[in-house]
Amino acid sequence: MNSIAQCQKTSISPAAQFTARGVMWLARGVDVLTRVADFLERAAAGRRALRQLAQADDRMLKDIGLDRSDLRNAAAQPLYLDPTKLLAGRVDEGRTHEPHRIPDRRSTPSRYY
């Protein structure tokens, strides 16, 4: 079995432990900063897309299921949020509220006449 003296010889010095912990915390800090930067970049890209949609005329917005009030609501969100998520939800809401057309069977000819 290992003796205490042998374990102490193989242990890492306090300075090396401090350095290893520092590197670990630095790596975590860099990871957090890159995630925040990616998040902000996605939000900025959403704002650019919102600006492009604002330049479209009402007919084009209606074709994709939006209107000016949807754009105003998306623009009123905080700057760090992506407005295109709200707009995508509005488009999906509009598609689900449209009435589903069921074909009238009386108007279709039958094969068995």
Find out whether 46 and 85 touch, Cβ atoms under 8 Å. yes
What's the mean per-residue pLDDT of the chain? 79
The model's pLDDT over 39-50, given as tens digits with 9 standing for 90+, comes to: 989 988 999 999
CA distances from 96 to 13, 43, 82, 92 (A): 65, 27, 23, 6
Max mean pLDDT among 10-14, 49-53, 79-83, 84-88 falls in 49-53
Residue with tokens 């009386």: 106
> Hey, where are the domains in the chain?
20-96
- Residue 56 backbone phi and psi in degrees, to 5: -75, 155
Q: What is the pLDDT of residue 99?
A: 47
**pTM (whole model) above 0.85:** no
Which is higher by pLDDT, 1 or 79?
A: 79
